[in-house]
Amino acid sequence: MFSLATAALAATIGLVLWSLAGYRLARRLGFGRAFALPVAPALGWAAQNVLALALAEMIGFSALAILASLALILVSTLPTAATEGAEDDELPPWWIAPAAGLLALVPALAVVPKHTADGVILAAAIFDHSKIALIDEMLRTGVPPVNPFYGPVGQPAEISYYYLWHFGAAQIARLAGATGWEADAAASWFTAFSTALLMAGLALRLGGNRLAPALALALCATGSLRPLLGWLAGAGLDQWLAPATGLAGWLFQTSWSPHHVAAAGSLVIAALLGVRLARRPDAPTCLVLALVMAAAFQSSFWVGGVVLALVALAFAPLLVCAAPARGRVRFVLAAAVAGLLALAFAAPLLLAQYHAALGRGGGSPVALRAYEVLGPLLTGQFGRVLDLPAYWLLLLPVEFPLVVIAGALTLLCRIGAPDEAPRRLEVRALALVAAVSFATSWLLVSTVGDNNDLGWRAVLPGLMVLTAAAAAGLAGLVARRARLALVAALALFAASLPAGAIILAGNAGGDASLSAAAFARAPAMWAAVRRAVPPQDRIASNPALFADMTPWPVNISWALLADRRSCFAGKELAIAFAPLAPAAREAISRQFLAVFDGRAGPDDVHALAERYDCRAVLVTARDGAWTRDPFAVSPDYRLVETEPDAWRLYRATAPASSPTVRP
């Protein structure tokens, strides 16, 4: 079902592949070893993935495309006079990388199955890793991938999601011979490792001493004050403060949505590259900046699209004014070229998301509205107007207590510090990233789905910057022996540790489920399906199968184990992956649920075969249709295989009416 050894092999391959590419790029761009080492994994991931995706679209997704993209990077970074930078900072301690690797196991555990005496259980975060089906699709059919979640007859089956992170997972799966599930765990570990190491290196770069990288990793393990406040205030907390959402710290967000975290790391790196481009507008910096910006967008529309665009607008006057007077025109041209190249790399995903937006309807995916902070006790009296100041004065200190307070104070002090000009400009640029990041979450909301994904994910670049800045500032306090400030910082750190411990316990222990024993038998069932159903065919299964194993009802066994396309993977996944208006999505969901509950008529079964291209149907003993089976009497399907008291597999009797339309 899932091999830890194979997942570890995939993670090792990713570590070597992306760290090697990133280190050579960082040295070629003039970064000294002190920063080239910690930035290498995240930088290499961004650049190599974008190049490999472009090559795979031209020559096919294979080991050749992967190794060719690496070769392009290595050849282009052969030692030159510019390779060795002038920077000569102190190297971070040697043990920082292993420590980051250990910390990264916490998010990776969210993906790993837990074998117990009762069967197999999963962590809550596995819900957001249902996108493993997309990794398997790329391994089967290449890129651009066919939509594995929904594909009606005669309609384009393009995937509108930002899938670069999942393509990266597919790359290491291809090289390691891993499944999509194993590769997702490996890629989750790598994303956590690379971004934690980036923050550690940035802490040293922001003026911290050798203690700063260690403090950055320690801050990554913290979380919200809500557990402590809930213990103190009890149920009354929800009256004052809106319930917890996906706006949370690095540890939580890396466990649930590592692709957004990877995009945030790319945005932070892009900010540093923008500063270097302003001071030295050369071709290598321009090209790498384009690749990194494209990686940010192709991994997260919210972080790499909305936030990156706003950061670029804010950066324009800062960097133009900072560029040498005689080189400003050259810088503006280089920045424009970098932007156009990034758009060119990201164009296929941009077009797919545009088409999906047209299919969904509903207008703009982003709206101007303050983040909802306060509970009913206050909003009932004052409305939502107090949410505006409460975001800064209440929500951010509650969710990121030590990071926000210490990080903001450190940046304010560093901006005016009498440091050398290049580093001072970097500090200002990073402070601007943080300001735009949190302001976006404050005032803009996403309208595509049921959740405010933009508000939740927009904080990530700012959170990374403030984590590094807080670590640098706290390291300075230790060096100066500022006891009072250190006592306050230690108190906030201790208060934010329970949230991190809760995340660790949830990821490692999983959530008990009545379906644990049945899920343990699911791999054999899906293996039989794969033997009988060709890779290009779509299968119908109950969207609510194993629904109690995830926080929201999805057929997690299909997403993790099927390695086959679904004709409709359920309402929850259709929100992000199907270009359907809400009313149509609800109607299709009701129809599929009725079929598998045994409440459907012949017309509904016929619709599965004719309209939704369901070439196979899996009915299990857990479905209502097991005893009221509409497929057994339907002329559209015939029984091809069964396991007594477990499952039945049907195949469509008519030939496919039309092949799946590729993007």
Digit-coded pLDDT (tens) for 638-648: 999 999 999 99
Prediction pTM value: 0.95
Per-residue exposure over 524-553, b if at least 16 CB sit within 10 Å of its own CB, e if not: ebbebbeebbeeebbbbbbbbbbbebbeeb
Structure confidence at residue 85 (pLDDT): 47
pLDDT tens column, 194-218: 999 999 999 999 887 889 999 999 9
Q: DSSP secondary structure string, 424-437? A: HHHHHHHHHHHHHH
Q: CA–CA separation, 65 vs 506, rounded Å? A: 38
What pLDDT score was predicted for residue 361?
Answer: 61
Q: What is the pLDDT of residues 367-421, one digit of tens each?
A: 999 999 998 888 877 888 999 999 999 999 999 999 999 999 999 988 876 554 5
pLDDT at 350: 79
- pLDDT at residue 585 tops 80: yes
Beta bridge partners of 120: 115
Residue 87: what pLDDT? 61
Handedness of CA 30, 305, 17, 98 (dihedral sign): positive
Mean pLDDT along residues 142-158: 85
Interatomic CA distance for residues 91 and 89, integer angstroms: 6
pLDDT tens for 417-445 read: 655 455 788 999 999 999 999 999 999 99
Q: Round to whole Å and give the CA distance between 201 and 211.
A: 11
φ/ψ (deg, to 5) at 244 = -65, 145
Is the pLDDT at 271 greater than 80, yes or no? Answer: yes
pLDDT at position 541 is: 96
Query: Rounded to whole angstroms, how far apart are CA atoms 77 and 464?
Result: 28
The average pLDDT across 235-239 equals 81
Average pLDDT (228-250) is: 87
What's the token pair of residue 492? 């906030």
Query: What is the band of 81 on the pLDDT scale with cuts at 50, 70, 90?
Result: very low
Q: Is the pLDDT of residue 355 over 70?
A: no
The pLDDT of 227-234, averaged and rounded, is: 87
Distance (Å, rounded) from C-alpha 613 to C-alpha 323? 57
pLDDT category at 291 given cuts 50, 70, 90 is: very high
Q: Classify residue 90 as exposed, middle or buried by CB count within 10 Å of its CB (0-12, 13-18, 19+).
A: exposed
Q: What's the rounded mean pLDDT across residues 221-243?
A: 88
How do residues 296-327 score in pLDDT, each as one tens digit?
A: 999 999 999 999 999 999 999 999 998 888 88
List, in order, residues 6 or more apart from 102 with CB less than 8 Å away: none
Cβ contact 387:373 at 8 Å:
yes
Which residues are paired to 156 by β-bridges? 661
In this structure, are residues 296 and 266 in contact, taking their beta carbons and an 8 Å threshold?
yes
The model's confidence at residue 7, banded by pLDDT at 50, 70 and 90, is: very high
Given its phi and psi angles, is residue 563 left (phi above 0), alpha (psi -120 to 50 degrees) or beta? left
| Percentage of the chain exceeding pLDDT 90 | 76
Would you give the DSSP letter of residue 306?
Answer: I
pLDDT of the residue at 161: 86
pLDDT for position 421? 52
Scanning the structure block, which residue is given the tokens 């949410």? 387
| 552-576 residue pLDDT tens | 999 999 999 999 999 999 999 988 8
Q: What is the DSSP code (8-state) at residue 631?
A: S
Measured from the Cβ of residue 590, the count of other Cβ atoms closer than 10 Å reads 13
- Among the listed residues 606, 638, 495, 620, the one whose alpha carbon sits nearest the alpha carbon of residue 561: 620
Cβ–Cβ under 8 Å, residues 454 and 444? yes
Q: Is the pLDDT assigned to residue 82 strictly greater than 50?
A: no
Distance from first CA to last CA of the chain, Å, rounded?
Answer: 31
* Region 515-522 average pLDDT: 94
Beta strands 366-368; 444-446: pairing state: antiparallel
Residue 376, pLDDT score: 87
Beta strands in 420-547 (DSSP E): 444-446, 538-540
604-621 pLDDT tens trace:
999 999 999 899 999 999
Report the chain's C-alpha Rg in angstroms.
25
Q: CA–CA separation, 457 vs 643, rounded Å?
A: 44
Element of type H or E holding 196: helix 180-205
Q: What is the pLDDT of residues 109-140, one digit of tens each?
A: 999 999 999 999 999 999 999 999 999 999 99
Total number of residues shown for the chain: 663
Please name the residues in contact with 325: beta carbons below 8 A apart, sequence gap of 6 or more: none
Rounded Cα distance, 367 and 660, in Å: 35
Among 93-102, 135-144, 282-291, 574-583, the least confident range: 574-583
Average pLDDT, the chain: 91
The reported pLDDT for the residue numbered 661 is 47
CA distance 15 to 116: 31
Q: Are 222 and 403 in contact (CB under 8 A)?
A: yes
What type of residue is 641? E
**What is the spatial distance between Cα 140 and Cα 91, in angstroms, rounded to a whole number?**
43
